[in-house]
Amino acid sequence: MSKKIRLLYMEGVSPLRSQTVYHAVAYAMKADSPNTIIMVSPNAPYVCVGYHQDLQKEVDEEYVQANGLIVLRREVGGGAVYLDSGQLFSQWIFHKNDLPSSLDERFKLYIDPLVQTYHALGINAIHRPVNDVLVSGKKIGGTGAAQIGIAEVVVGSLMYTFDKKTMSKVLKVPSEKMRDKVFESLEAYMTTMTEQLGYTPDRAMVKDLYMKKASEALGAEVYEGEWSADEEAMAQEIDERFMSDEWLYQKGRLQQQGVKIHQDVHIVEAAFKAQGGLIRVIARLREGRIDDVSISGDFTLFPAFALGALEQSLRGTRATPETLKSKIEEAYYRLSIQSPGVTPDDFTTAIMNAVTPAHPK
């Protein structure tokens, strides 16, 4: 890649802006816009849910409200996460032809500068495909990807610190025993720069290191640039959308419809853990067919609109494994769907887990 890459370095912005900034750069992107890397951190803690998640199923709203945390939904897949100034988000907004077309290769390219930055700091990080960064078996960052406007977006972070206790509290879990187990697991399987080094490295130094490593990985000059007026205007539009209940609660619509359940109509629900993430299904069945279905979870799926199209294509389908799988495979082919670690078989299994009488809900 010979084009220069613009860096926007934005430490200490509002939680809302730390998410809307990369969406704005993506939606404002035109054919002559520069490829952009944003390095941004929030000035206050918040909770962020993945594009395909049902907020009410993933987040303990009572805890969040009692502790004054805002909740945002991003247009990138993955799971619910607690975020604060301890993370420096690295957000790539590139033209489609300037990144590998394969998601696996794209994550590999994106993760290389993160890994090399950690190495330069003396932290022995590795890339574990598809999209995790590990140190001695402990996770020091995950990544996500999306198509937004004409842009291809990949996001992740450099982890100075991470509040594992609060992370365990913001997630919705069935019992306090389960919450304790979540915290124990975070302690055992997550790490940070501060834990690895015994001190917190200088942020300006980390930024410069990352710029250098990104430039090397991409074979292009990375320069510090400016945020345009068009991007600011777009960000203000997106700020408004991201704060709306309609956007936040979009995946909870089906269960809120209050559909009367009788002999021929009932609502069922199940979850299935695929290699690439958890799939949750809420379906309304009518006379053995899918009358409506809502699919959510912490998986990554390209293009983002394809999940809605997939849900729509299943309406009216007879609820059998063969019919469902055939419909889902057809949608994968028609929409060129990519979903690392999640297959049509996995979606079929998740739906069948919900509709099979052996899994009463």
- The predicted pLDDT at position 269 comes to 84
E-strand ranges in the chain read 5-13, 35-42, 46-49, 70-73, 81-83, 87-95, 125-128, 132-135, 138-142, 144-148, 151-159, 222-224, 265-274, 277-286, 289-297
Handedness of CA 63, 301, 242, 35 (dihedral sign): positive
Q: How many domains does the chain have?
A: 2
Q: Are 58 and 143 part of one and the same domain? A: yes
Q: Are 307 and 349 part of one and the same domain? A: yes
Query: Of 215, 233, 248, which one is at a domain's C-terminal end?
Result: 248
Distance CA 117, CA 201 (A): 12
pLDDT tens for each residue of 239-271: 999 999 999 988 765 543 334 345 567 778 889
Query: Of 248, 279, 295, which one is at a domain's C-terminal end?
Result: 248
Residue 143 has pLDDT above 60, yes or no: yes
Report if residue 306 sits inside a domain. Answer: yes
**Which has the closest alpha carbon to 206: 22, 9, 19?**
9
From 206-210, 286-290, 309-313, 348-352, the region with the lowest mean pLDDT: 286-290
Q: Are 50 and 194 part of one and the same domain? A: yes
Domain of 270, in residue numbers: 253-355
**Which has the closest alpha carbon to 304: 257, 251, 268, 350?**
251
Q: Are 195 and 271 part of one and the same domain? A: no
Query: Of 210, 230, 248, which one is at a domain's C-terminal end?
Result: 248
CATH code for position 37? 3.30.930.10
> Which residue carries 């990807």 as its tokens?
145
Report if residue 361 sits inside a domain. Answer: no
Q: Are 222 and 283 part of one and the same domain? A: no
Higher pLDDT pick, 48 / 291? 48
Amino acid, res. 146: A
Name the 3-class secondary structure at 257: coil
Report if residue 66 sits inside a domain. Answer: yes
Q: Are 39 and 92 part of one and the same domain? A: yes
This model's pTM is above 0.95: no
pLDDT tens for each residue of 57-109: 999 999 999 999 999 999 998 889 999 999 999 999 999 999 999 999 999 99
